[in-house]
A = this chain, B = another copy of it.
Amino acid sequence: MVFQEEHITEIGKKLHQAGMKLTPQRRATVNTLLKYQTKHLSAEELFTLIKLEEPEIGLATVYRTLDLLTELQIVERVTFDDGVARYDLRRADQQHFHHHLLCSVCGKVEEIHEDLLGEVENEVLRKYGFTVQDHRLTFHGVCEACSRKERYQDQG
Contacts and interface: CB of A to CB of B under 8 A. Distances in A.
Interface of A: 77-81, 83-85, 101, 103-104, 110, 112, 116-117, 120-121, 123-124, 128-144, 147
B117 A130 contact: no
A121 B133 CA distance: 22
Given A81-B79, A83-B83, A135 B140 contact: yes
Nearest to A82: B79
A112 to B, nearest CB: 7
Copies in the complex: 2
Contact of A140 (B77, B117, B133, B143): B133
A144 to B, nearest CB: 3
A141 B136 contact: no
Contacts of A78: 81
A12 to B, nearest CB: 27
5 closest pairs, A vs B, by CB?
Answer: A129-B144, A133-B141, A134-B140, A132-B141, A136-B138
Given A81-B79, A136-B136, A136-B137, A131 B117 contact: no
